[in-house]
């Protein structure tokens, strides 16, 4: 049974296609595939997605196939499409001036065969743009789609460089957004200043998700923050752990701070563990 090929379209959408003709394709190759309304061009992401891994079929219960590897003529056509997209962007922004709502156009993408034109935008709140879409369809004489995007989608489409000096993960190698929570930041001792762990999109950094499993696994040998112990003649509370430095930090009632290794901490008597908000 043939596996599916996973591809990414120029719109950022992922798709799954069969290769019935066994075309000689490799990851990152450009290919032309059949879609619901004609043909489109896409880039190969994964070569083998098992049929039972996820729901591959579209809403009509149909599967699609790879038509051919992109030829020189296809690549030349793609370059011309980019010029047409620039013209469509100018027309969109010019027409938008005659409407009462505000949009920020992020990207304009033509389907490879010209049967669809998609505009990606951001806006505050919901917008009734039905009349606007009809006028765009009259001008371009093709199917028009408007997609309102989030801050993360905008960062992925526009690209840029993060505080690490590298390209945004979402615009380089990250194909899907994974959930990032404040708990991940706390696990990694990075929850003190949200502005330092937030990306240009205003959301928590995607890279917090990359090492979460490591911190959770290593943290199993460390006490829970808030645990109260007897330290010498005073009571102290665990206020921070650092699994990389292999340190456990305590604070006493008189604000003294102590750092211990896990072995040193294991010699202390535990008085209470959280669920108790304050240490007596």
- Tell me, yes or no, if the pTM score tops 0.75: no
Domain ranges of the chain: 4-70, 75-149, 155-215, 222-272
Just give the CATH number of 75-149: 3.30.300
Residues of the chain with pLDDT under 50: 1, 276-280
Fold of 222-272: SH3 type barrels. (2.30.30)
pLDDT on residue 195: 78
CA end-to-end distance (rounded Å), the chain: 65
Phi/psi for 272 (5° steps) reads: -155, 160
C-alpha distance from residue 171 to each of 8, 83, 107, 181 (Å): 12, 22, 14, 21
pLDDT tens-digit readout, 79-129: 999 999 999 999 999 999 999 888 889 999 999 999 999 999 988 888 888
CA distances from 279 to 239, 258, 275 (A): 11, 16, 11
């Amino acid at each position: 049974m043939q596996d599916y090929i996973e591809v990414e379209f120029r719109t950022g959408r992922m798709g799954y296609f069969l290769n019935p003709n066994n075309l000689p394709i490799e990851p990152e190759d450009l290919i032309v595939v059949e879609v619901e309304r004609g043909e489109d061009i896409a880039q190969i992401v994964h070569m083998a997605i098992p049929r039972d891994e996820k729901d591959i079929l579209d809403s009509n219960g149909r599967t699609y196939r790879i038509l051919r590897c992109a030829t020189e003529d296809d690549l030349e056509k793609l370059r011309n499409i980019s010029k047409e997209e620039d013209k469509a962007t100018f027309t969109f922004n010019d027409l938008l001036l005659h409407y009462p709502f505000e949009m920020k156009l992020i990207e304009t993408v033509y389907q490879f065969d010209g049967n669809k034109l998609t505009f990606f935008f951001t806006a505050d709140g919901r917008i009734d743009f039905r009349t606007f879409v009809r006028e765009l369809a009259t001008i371009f004489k093709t199917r028009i789609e408007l997609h309102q995007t989030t801050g993360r989608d905008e960062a992925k489409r526009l690209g840029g460089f993060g505080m690490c000096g590298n390209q945004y993960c979402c615009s380089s190698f990250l194909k899907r957004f994974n959930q990032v929570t404040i708990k991940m930041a706390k696990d990694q001792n990075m929850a003190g200043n949200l502005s330092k762990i937030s990306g240009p999109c205003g959301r928590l950094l995607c890279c917090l998700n990359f090492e979460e499993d490591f911190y959770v696994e290593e943290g199993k040998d460390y006490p829970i923050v808030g645990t109260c112990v007897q330290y010498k003649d005073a009571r102290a509370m665990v206020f921070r752990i650092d699994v990389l430095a292999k340190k456990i930090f305590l604070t006493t009632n008189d604000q003294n701070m102590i750092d211990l290794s896990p072995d040193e901490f294991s010699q202390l008597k535990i008085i209470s563990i959280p669920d108790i908000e304050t240490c007596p």
